[in-house]
Amino acid sequence: MVESAPHPPGPSSGTKVLATLAAGATLVVLDLLWLGVLARDFYRSSLSALAREETHAAAAILFYAMYLATVVIYAVFGASGLGSAAKRGAALGFVAYSTYELTNWAVLRDWPARLVPVDITWGVVLTAAAAVAGKLAERSRAR
């Protein structure tokens, strides 16, 4: 039987919680700022009749929980450093937001083409920022 080298210990549960909270707070605060303030009129005019009057809260919570878990596992704890976290977050954001936007554009009759590059770019920036925030929290706790 061949023995393998011992794996270095992973982050403690406290470190995991702190990194997840930092990534989650960044994700939610920046997305609410973007959607609710900075780009609100752009989204309203782009989606007009397609948009709900009120956000479906359960769906939003479910999205953020699943997306945050993926960001933390792949782009925070899967990254070797801040640059790696930013790149992994950007790549994840690109894939996730491209999937959403391109699928909607492909199957929904009135999906606005002008929304596609804006939303994909936002997904890249948002997810990279959340991953970096999580990685910074992880590093600060590890010291």
With respect to residue 54, please indicate whether it lies within any of the assigned structural domains. Answer: no
The predicted-structure confidence for 18-70, as pLDDT tens digits, reads as follows 999 999 999 999 999 999 999 999 999 999 888 888 889 999 999 999 999 99
Provide the domain limits for residue 34: 14-48+59-142
Number of domain units in the chain:
1
Is it the case that residue 73 has pLDDT exceeding 80?
yes
Would 44 be classed as within a structural domain? yes
34 assigned to some structural domain: yes
pLDDT tens digits, residue range 15-25?
899 999 999 99
Residue 94 covered by a domain: yes
Q: How many helices (H) and strands (E) does the chain have?
A: 5, 0
Domain annotation covers residue 38: yes
- Residue 67 maps to a domain: yes
Is residue 3 assigned to a domain?
Answer: no
Question: What gap in Å lies between CA 92 and CA 97, rounded to an integer?
Answer: 8
- pTM (predicted TM-score): 0.89
Q: Is residue 9 part of a domain?
A: no
